């Protein structure tokens, strides 16, 4: 079961200048753009610039696109590359620590303000294995369908939206982190921001994981870092139902790992036109190694919170979990002290892995970055209390012109609050990126 913190949670020991120094020393690799403004508040852009014919002959990299993501950012995303002089993210003065940024977002979980007060239009969708996901649309499904969402018992749950005449509007899929849902503050903020300031007519649809957001869990398939089938089926459905609508996606934490892995798996066959990830972990083993370190924050806040959330799911869906051929030790699961114990006892075996180590290794999205051919903007922070710097596949981003990595000094895990009155900083980059591509 995934364990990225949800709003319903150090920093790497690598020096801040490590990545810039590494890029400048290796002159035989494709050039990278490194943009830093202020020492503490600068934004570092790591991306591949067009190669010379000689460079293309010497090594294999992802097929070069007509326009690199590096170029898109420099021409269409002033919040990331302000007039060529660099841009910056000024964190909220009382949220300078990554752990504080992270917990502040948790505290906003159910807050409703002018940036997040929205109502979703819900649709239920059957999966091919008998599972169920819910799709929460904002402001509504294209063409303004008002009929009730089809029953998940029906095999034609998505059939009523295939008629002609649907509006060709941009659609962005949002994938929450572990234990997350459409109700979270940052996802509601994203939905309202894209609908009001994104590409004209933009719709946001949140893919709620099985068993969350009042969505029944009907099969023994539990959420995990490497399971991309639900996202794949949703994208296929959207592409078939709204063939004239450009599709984008935003993945948060575990959702970012799922999205990154999916993009690499699909490669040139991907139906998405653009994607953004926020705090993708890339290396699940290193993620859990970081969570497992004995620190006050990990011991008192992070691990207990993640473990409690997983136990909630187990208690609620015990009958479903035990409905398969394999029976699991529920008492041991409810006595677990760490997320890794739960992954060892449940997530790994129920997902078909022989060990927790294999589950973490094969679920990691880092190895898939090199295969991505869809424009991807990845946002990570150096003070993320869960994702260490050495988990980020910097070289893969450097070598793939279809991707760009943005590293910030501050932000924590999914926080990125900026300004005297805290506001989520990355909304502008996301709006600008999708407006250029959708």
Active centre residues (catalytic): 253, 384, 413
Handedness of CA 77, 83, 86, 88 (dihedral sign): negative
Both tokens assigned to 43: 């934004």
Is residue 374 within 8 Å of 270, Cβ to Cβ?
A: yes
Give the 3-state secondary structure percentages of the chain, helix then strand then coil, rounded to 5: 40, 15, 50
Distances, alpha carbon 326 to alpha carbons 217, 346, 352, 357, 393, in Å: 17, 10, 11, 20, 36
83 Cβ neighbours under 8 A, 6+ residues apart: none
Count CB neighbours of 331 within 10 A: 7
Is residue 194 within 8 Å of 434, Cβ to Cβ?
A: yes
Give the integer Cα–Cα distance in Å for 284 and 43: 25
Of 177, 199, 419, 186, which is closest to residue 279 (Cα–Cα)?
177
> Strand, coil or helix: what is 137?
strand
- CA triple 275-276-280, angle to 5 deg: 125
Q: Which helix (H) or strand (E) holds 363?
A: helix 356-363
Q: Which helix (H) or strand (E) holds 194?
A: helix 185-197
């Amino acid at each position: 079961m995934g364990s990225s913190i949800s709003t319903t949670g150090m920093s790497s020991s690598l020096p801040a200048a490590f990545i810039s120094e590494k890029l400048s020393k290796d002159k035989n690799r494709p050039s990278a753009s490194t943009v830093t403004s202020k020492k503490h508040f600068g934004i570092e852009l790591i991306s591949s610039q067009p190669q010379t014919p000689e460079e293309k002959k010497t090594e294999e990299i992802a097929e070069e696109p007509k326009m690199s993501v590096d170029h898109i950012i420099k021409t269409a995303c002033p919040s990331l590359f302000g007039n060529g002089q660099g841009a910056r993210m000024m964190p909220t003065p009382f949220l300078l620590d990554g752990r504080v940024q992270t917990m502040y977002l948790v505290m906003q979980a159910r807050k409703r303000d002018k940036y997040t007060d929205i109502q979703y239009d819900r649709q239920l969708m059957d999966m091919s294995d008998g599972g169920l996901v819910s799709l929460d649309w904002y402001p509504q499904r294209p063409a303004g369908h008002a009929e009730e969402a089809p029953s998940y018992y029906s095999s034609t749950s998505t059939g009523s939206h295939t008629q002609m005449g649907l509006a060709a509007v941009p659609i962005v899929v949002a994938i929450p982190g572990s234990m997350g849902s459409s109700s979270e503050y940052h996802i509601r903020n994203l939905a309202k921001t894209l609908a009001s300031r994104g590409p004209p007519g933009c719709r946001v649809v949140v893919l709620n994981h099985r068993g969350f957001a009042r969505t029944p869990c009907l099969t023994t398939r539990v959420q995990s870092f490497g399971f991309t089938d639900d996202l794949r089926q949703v994208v296929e459905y959207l592409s078939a139902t709204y063939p004239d609508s450009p599709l984008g996606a935003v993945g948060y934490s575990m959702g970012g790992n799922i999205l990154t892995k999916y993009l690499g798996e699909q490669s040139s066959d991907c139906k998405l036109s653009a994607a953004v990830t926020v705090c993708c972990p890339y290396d699940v083993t290193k993620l859990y190694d970081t969570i497992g370190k004995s620190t006050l924050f990990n011991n008192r806040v992070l691990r207990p919170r993640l473990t409690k959330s997983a136990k909630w799911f187990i208690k609620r869906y015990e009958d479903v979990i035990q409905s398969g051929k394999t029976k699991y030790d529920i008492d041991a699961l409810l006595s677990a002290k760490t997320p890794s114990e739960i992954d060892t006892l449940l997530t790994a075996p129920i997902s078909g892995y022989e060990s927790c180590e294999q589950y973490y290794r094969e679920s990691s999205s880092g190895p898939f970055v090199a295969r991505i051919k869809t424009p991807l903007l990845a946002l990570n922070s150096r003070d993320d209390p869960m994702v260490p710097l050495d988990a980020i596949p910097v070289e893969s981003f450097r070598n793939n012109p279809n991707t760009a990595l943005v590293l910030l000094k501050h932000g924590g895990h999914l926080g990125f609050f900026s300004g005297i009155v805290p506001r989520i900083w990355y909304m502008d980059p996301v709006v600008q990126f999708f407006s250029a591509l959708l």
